[in-house]
Structure 1
């Protein structure tokens, strides 16, 4: 009876969250943590935890497509994972081979035109995994409706270090001038194909750290971060929607901040720019939900003070 009631409550909460969500991040990145701890709790070996987690991986792809996410990156195997016992890693490599080929052949992947890509130092992986990566990428390389990045043998600082070395080599060889180095120069060397800036990082398993995951694309974009306690095999659609809501709250906060800054800027412009500045502020106000818009009286007070200062020959502080 309790289990039945729990399901009813969870279903109701999921429906409530679904109704509340009005937009979706473009790029979600997930640290799928807790597979081994989940297995230990159930008295099983680590490979069983990874296999259970692979089912969640299939579901989150569907959840992202349902709400309009365009790119999903999954942290599947880090450079630190090479330190784990060989027998554990070998079982995980077998599972990766199986799932990469299964995804590459799945009807839902082709029906939704999902492009599968691997990011990381794939050359460090066993040949059978590299072959599976190549198979998945070739089977889906023409698609562009949704991008699924699988981070394998991945370490964010290692990627940045390699990009920096590549730039330094080009400068030394005379193919690149130092003053020509910009953001695009680095991004072009990080991955073979473009990766969008990350809007939301989700980490399961209870740890509150991002573990060297996509530092260029997440930190540079000041991505929202959602930490949750369920282990990856237990991660539910409700947990996922809570993460999306975290992203939305962050975006709403940014919009309010930009609107308030625009209002404050009115105090620093001359009367010749007031019409244009007022137009900018109105656009910010219109982009916010009604209950979150800056008070119009605040706008009028700032404008009035500015006009009074202009007429008396004074400038605003």
Structure 2
């Protein structure tokens, strides 16, 4: 297909997707995959791919803010990436330093109240990268309208392991009772500042795996996952909107399932459980097909029958 025709088709599809989307996930997490393969295909080196990928990152940040996403996490450098050639990593570290300073000084970042945070074992990074992280975090520390998490020297299982060790140490010293351990005890040990549950993971580049990315916040929340084939530098707004649509379909399915289960329980449960089930049906009634939607009279009738049976 000729380039001009492809552009017109893509633009039309993007407009169609924009009209179909009615909401936005709160927290989107992106695995920025395919930079090096993109560069090799074009006859360049890894640094060329990372530099092109950084431009995509800036666009995605804008798209998230445009549709109302409140938190974006970018899987930028994993602990396994230290095994790559030193020359490649050094060039990437230089790029990270440059982009962190640019982001921290950008007018749009301050105008939109973007808080930049790094998550991961940042002490493993070269000092110049640590300094750039400190600069970006310090410049945007007081903002809370949008959160940009940059996962650097990151490994999901290692973070969970450290959190578990912290809990164990507190139990050993008597500062924490085993039966008092709850979700908050784990979460506040994972990162220095709170991270929202992940609603949507996006991975370009063709691989269909989440690569140990935010396991506590994504798996625990049953996040939607969108895989696509373009390499990260080629990732377009159309691809992004397709990911958002995947999230919306996942949410609609979840609400429909919750409503159906709650509806099935009405009339066959105790009074407290009945009240909760009716509340769920009321909240998610519109997600059911019209043929399955009960009216208020049906719910009241079921409620009365349950009390008579009791």
TM-score range, shorter chain: over 0.9
Cα distance in 2 between the residues matched to 1:35 and 1:48: 8
Structure 2's unaligned 5+ residue stretches are none
Q: Does 1:24 align with 2:24?
A: yes
**Counterpart in 2 of 1:292?**
289
Q: Does 1:59 align with 2:59?
A: yes
Q: Does 1:179 align with 2:179?
A: yes
Deviation at 1:170, TM superposition (A): 1.4
Moved more, 269-278 or 110-119: 269-278
Equivalent residue runs for 1:88-127 within 5 Å: 88-127=88-127
SS in 2 for 1:65: helix
Structure 1's unaligned 5+ residue stretches are none
Deviation at 1:282, TM superposition (A): 3.4
**Counterpart in 2 of 1:158?**
158
Moved more, 170-179 or 112-121: 170-179
1:56·1:232 contact (CA, 8 Å) conserved in 2? Answer: yes
1:257 to 1:45, Cα distance in 2 relative to 1, 3 A: same
Larger Rg: 1
1:157 to 1:280, Cα distance in 2 relative to 1, 3 A: closer
**Counterpart in 1 of 2:170?**
170
1:115·1:146 contact (CA, 8 Å) conserved in 2? Answer: yes
RMSD (Å), alpha carbons: 2.4
Q: Does 1:135 align with 2:128?
A: no
1:309 to 1:90, Cα distance in 2 relative to 1, 3 A: closer
TM-score normalised by the chain length of structure 1: 0.91
Cα distance in 1 between the residues matched to 2:13 and 2:298: 43
1:171·1:177 contact (CA, 8 Å) conserved in 2? Answer: yes
Q: Does 1:37 align with 2:37?
A: yes
Cα distance in 1 between the residues matched to 2:221 and 2:30: 16
SS in 2 for 1:210: coil
Task: Render the CA deviation track for 1:224-271: whole Å, top value 9, x for unaligned.
Answer: 000000000000000000000000000000111111112101130479
**Counterpart in 2 of 1:198?**
198
Cα distance in 1 between the residues matched to 2:146 and 2:24: 14
1:70 to 1:271, Cα distance in 2 relative to 1, 3 A: closer
Displaced runs of 4+ in structure 1, greater than 6 A? 270-276, 297-311
Equivalent residue runs for 1:60-99 within 5 Å: 60-99=60-99
